[in-house]
Structure 1
């Protein structure tokens, strides 16, 4: 083979090699890809997280709003509920089958009248309007002696006369012989919007007396704001509370008599030595000064 053909062959080979190298060096083209916007799907709640258990309604909720029942509020205790409803807290626990009186829940509805008792009777006491006897405005008189009574002790009322209202009969529950629970001066009086009783001043250790005959339904310090407290239930209508004592001299279920020493005055849960005294009628605070005798 001659020199010229060999040179031509080398040139062709170089050209082919250059073309091959150029093809390898050029960027490769990707297959066309269809671009789609990202779609974020929220996981289904039922599939990703277990459903929270449904909380059962508070016990007794079916009695909410009925007479003779009480809905537990935040901060309530059995002792406070007894004071607010005028009942022995132990009775309330028994009526509601509560084994642990420290375990009650907000919204729970409790029976606060004895089973078999008409709850409307207690709330209706003392509000019966006086009976008024009236005569019809008629000018006709008895036509004959045969239709008139044979004898009368007094002349009949004149036409249109209205007899004076009859006095409202007193309930037996109201016939209590009240006495002052302490001998000191009254330094704060009853106020519907504030103080629920009287504040009676004295010295630490002064005697505190039962204001009427009754039975002790609470003696302790479990009611916030009252310190060492005695509660005496006198009947189905009235109870009294004696707060801030230094020493308690009675225990629960003990029968006490009017004027019996039940505690010694102190300043427990108070800023000064005093007796805070309440009278509650069916659980509602009333002004003790209206029932206590004049000094």
Structure 2
């Protein structure tokens, strides 16, 4: 009995020694110090696992997007998901070429969500432009008789005859002439088949047959001719002055190119059904980039 007790005591002592030795052999790992984005030490007690540091979790990429310092300022636009440069230009009454120049874009086909773009020309008071676009709309609500229409047409014709091309007006947006309403004409021969709706149809629709003439609604300069804007098909955009743009969508053939000067009534395209379920012309007028009802501007027939 005493022999078994002595042997059990030896075994117990040996096991205890082994456990103690094993514990002392485990390395004492110091915690990894978390650092903030500026490289300084984090608050006391902050610990980041070593594997997280190795994976880069503690070093987020905080590269500022171009123009971020101008976010929220008048005259600037923050890029949203789904935006394209063409859409941003149209919605702000500008040409893509101007946006590329003002923002020094190396690759205009690549803009990032969150990037901030200048959409008003340098040196222009963006707040004043926005205010003016709201308060200077000219809509003639008084009905005119046939004699009055004839007189108005004659006055319009005589006033527009000596006017300089819109290319010159666009080059000096601060001038008074650049803010005047153009002498408007109809963009298609047929009747209006679908009227303006600020939510669903931001222009007028003219139905017709493939190849029907599409006409410039006023003197101006082509700032876009292509098919890069989803939902518009083959599209022409004309800038008439510092205030107005017009857009002509769904054409089958484009007859003008970018930076080309055009005159009111000039054939600029042929009606088609590109990006549409039927042959038609979708015609928009944009004032400072905002869609307005073209029917309030076009002359009587």
* Normalised TM-score (structure 1): 0.71
SS for the counterpart of 1:270 is coil
Q: Which deviates more from structure 2 when the two are superposed, residues 173-182 or residues 275-284?
A: 173-182
- Alpha-carbon displacement from aligned partner over 1:90-126 (angstroms, at most 9, x marks no partner): 1111011112101211111111111111112211225
Task: Give me the whole-angstrom Cα distance separating, in 2, the residues matched to 1:73 and 1:84.
Answer: 13
**1:45 corresponds to:** 48
Task: Give me the whole-angstrom Cα distance separating, in 1, the residues matched to 2:217 and 2:296.
Answer: 13
Could you tell me how far 1:45 is from its partner in structure 2? Answer: 2.7
SS for the counterpart of 1:187 is coil
Q: 2:127 aligned to 111, 120, 129, which one?
A: 120
**1:71 corresponds to:** 78
Could you tell me how far 1:46 is from its partner in structure 2? Answer: 4.9
> 1:128-277 residue pairs with structure 2 within 5 A?
172=177, 173-277=179-283
RMSD: 2.8
Task: Give me the whole-angstrom Cα distance separating, in 2, the residues matched to 1:275 and 1:100.
Answer: 31
SS for the counterpart of 1:200 is strand
Could you tell me how far 1:128 is from its partner in structure 2? Answer: 6.7
SS for the counterpart of 2:284 is strand
Q: Which deviates more from structure 2 when the two are superposed, residues 171-180 or residues 42-51?
A: 42-51
- Alpha-carbon displacement from aligned partner over 1:151-170 (angstroms, at most 9, x marks no partner): xxxxxxxxxxxxxxxxxxxx
Task: Give me the whole-angstrom Cα distance separating, in 2, the residues matched to 1:98 and 1:212.
Answer: 30
**1:145 corresponds to:** none
Task: Give me the whole-angstrom Cα distance separating, in 2, the residues matched to 1:222 and 1:128.
Answer: 32
Task: Give me the whole-angstrom Cα distance separating, in 2, the residues matched to 1:128 and 1:194.
Answer: 25
SS for the counterpart of 1:253 is coil
The higher radius of gyration belongs to: 1
Give ranges in structure 2 of 5+ residues lacking alignment: 24-30, 33-46, 138-175
Determine if the alignment matches structure 1 residue 86 to structure 2 residue 93: yes
How many residue pairs align between the two structures? 230
